[in-house]
Amino acid sequence: MRGNVYLRSAATALLAVVMTGPLSGCGYNTLGSQDEAVTAAWGEVDNQLKRRNELVPQLVNTVKGFAAKEKEVLLKVSEARSRVAGAGSPAQAMQASNELSSALSRLLVVMDRYPEIESNQNFIRLQDELAGTEDRLSVARTRYNEAVAAAEAQAFFGSYASLYQFVFLKLLPYQRVLQAVLQERDVLASNMKIMDAGTGTGVLIRILYPMAREKGLSNVVFHAFDITPAMLDVFHRWIRAEGAQDSVSTRVQDVLHLETLPETWNDYDLVVTAAMLEYVPPESLHTAVAGLLDRLKPGGKMIWVVSGRTLSMRFFVGWMWRANLYTKGEIDAVLAKAGAEHVEYLSFPRPYHATDGHMLAVEITRP
């Protein structure tokens, strides 16, 4: 029975969350109109959409000269282009853009029936320009999705920072589970440099700092970042209460833009991260993981704890806390794409062994 402590505690935590009102009311799915990063990212998407819309009529007119009877396919391309031009919101523009991409793909497939067009220089030029525009549009859309995710996470946790601390540090055994894993791995030594990526209210450093002090370890330096100032404000109160100002440095930071970190935030012996990566767009997760691994010194280790996609976690963490959940197979694919080597999945020690599956813990060593 003790092994199910995490799930039993979730019922209590659920009651506390329900009593505060639905979490979706904080505007997690609403973009702030003043968010400069989101606005700038959408501007680049819009530029590429407009450029593609300029090229489409030229392509249609060129194709008509060789395949006038393909009226239905050509009409669908023109209609999709009109929907992109008439979109009233980013969501509508994205949907219309997908439809136009599909229509263009069908058109190019049809063109295989007309080998004579393959030698037309205007068609070749337009095809190349469209391909380049599609590539730039894909990059721009990814960056836009990343900016949106960052803005939404910041707004969400900015509204619920204190509640997050109450649920995950007080009601759930989340901190105790992580502490059991870190103690079993014996990750600390003197003269270590440690990064807590996505520190939130400081769960991991609340574990590691006292452990280092109890062991009498000297010169252990902690760097911690989070995208949400309100979460760091809660953490700062703990830092002051512990008198840890000389050992713990913090900053507001997006994990997808680690290039803006100070030069001294590098060459870590240990990088620890939990929860934060669950709010990165799934298509960008490997980029975030690779960026963190690059911050390690040779032989350094990264410990990543992520919520598994089990039924209970889908409801409590996925639905209520709007997190992306992953299976072990999906994590394997992300790690491979990030170029991770020397990967080891960790088992949760008793009494938290039943947490396996509900939470995944992985240790990566940089060669």
Query: How do the domains of the chain map onto residue ranges?
Result: 2-26+172-365, 36-148
pTM for the whole thing? Answer: 0.77
For 65, the token pair is: 């000269």
Task: With cut-offs at 50, 70 and 90, classify the pLDDT of residue 354.
Answer: low
Q: Report the Cα–Cα distance between both ends of the chain, in Å, rounded.
A: 40
Distance CA 299, CA 268 (A): 10
Q: 33-37, 208-212, 247-251, 309-313: which range is least confident on average?
A: 33-37
- 296-307 vs 359-365, strand pairing mode: antiparallel
pLDDT at 42: 93
Q: Is residue 24's pLDDT more than 50?
A: no
Distance CA 353, CA 356 (A): 6
Q: Is the dihedral of CA 113, 114, 120, 123 positive or negative?
A: negative
Q: 7-16, 137-146, 211-220, 234-243: which range is least confident on average?
A: 7-16
For 79, the token pair is: 């209609």
- CATH code of the domain made up of 2-26+172-365: 3.40.50.150
Mean pLDDT of the chain: 85
Distance CA 213, CA 314 (A): 37
- CATH superfamily for 36-148 is LemA-like domain (1.20.1440.20)
- At 322-337, the pLDDT tens digits run 889 999 999 999 999 9
Distance CA 338, CA 97 (A): 29
- At 289-307, the pLDDT tens digits run 999 999 999 999 999 988 8
Q: Which of 65, 105, 57 is nearest to 81 (CA)?
A: 57
Distance CA 156, CA 160 (A): 6
